[in-house]
Amino acid sequence: MNGNKLASSLFILGMLIGAVSIGYIGDSIGRRKTFTLNVFTLAIVTTASAFSPDWITFCSLRFFSEIGASGHFLITFVWG
């Protein structure tokens, strides 16, 4: 599998997992707490991905950043 296709596949997989997990967490502990934790986690993961030393680290951080990004979108969408 090509490296670009792998990174894109992990990105989409993170979107699926983030939509389900962050949505459930937001319903369980509250959207404000989930939003705050998600913003801090997303900031750390995306900053770390900018300094990733190798391809595997970049792909895994891209996966986790999409979990946070899709969760961030869902929380703000429900608030809106």
User: Which of the two residues, 79 and 47, has the higher pLDDT score?
Assistant: 47
> And the tokens for 9?
């596949």
Q: Does pTM top 0.85 for this prediction?
A: no
Q: Which residues constitute the domain of residue 20?
A: 3-77
| Rounded average pLDDT over 2-12 | 82
Instruction: Give me the number of domains the chain comprises.
Output: 1
Total residues belonging to the chain: 80
Predicted confidence (pLDDT) per residue in 55-74, tens digit: 889 889 989 998 988 888 88
List of residues 6+ apart from 7 with CB closer than 8 A = 58, 59, 62
Determine the angle formed by the axes of helices 55-79 and 31-50, rounding to 10 degrees: 150
